[in-house]
Amino acid sequence: MKKIISSTLAVVALGLAANSVMASDFTDDVNDLKASITAIENQLDSMDVDYNKVSVEGGLNRTQELRALEAQYKDLKTEFNIAHSAI
């Protein structure tokens, strides 16, 4: 009986640790994307390029927020590539 309880506790502890790591990875991904978006916006501003400023609305779940940030980054990257090729 003691082996079952200790095994169960070990599985629960491992599950909690894995969940914590996944939450940390998500936060890192969001922060990395936000930093990349800010960098591209600053570069476009320094190049005097007009671009569509979009902000991600609150209330999205984690996956929706990440996808919205990825779409915003992709759009800004496209604007940068167009402006850079025009130079």
pLDDT, tens digit (0-9, with 9 covering 90-100), for 21-32: 555 788 888 999
Which tens digit of pLDDT belongs to each residue from 49-83?
Answer: 898 888 888 889 988 999 999 999 999 999 999 98
Q: Residue ranges per domain, the chain?
A: 26-85
pTM: 0.70
Range 67-75, long-range pairs (CB < 8 A, 24+ positions): 69/30, 69/33, 69/34, 69/37, 70/33, 72/37, 73/33, 73/36, 73/37, 73/40
Which tens digit of pLDDT belongs to each residue from 2-46?
Answer: 555 555 555 555 555 555 555 578 888 899 999 999 999 999 999
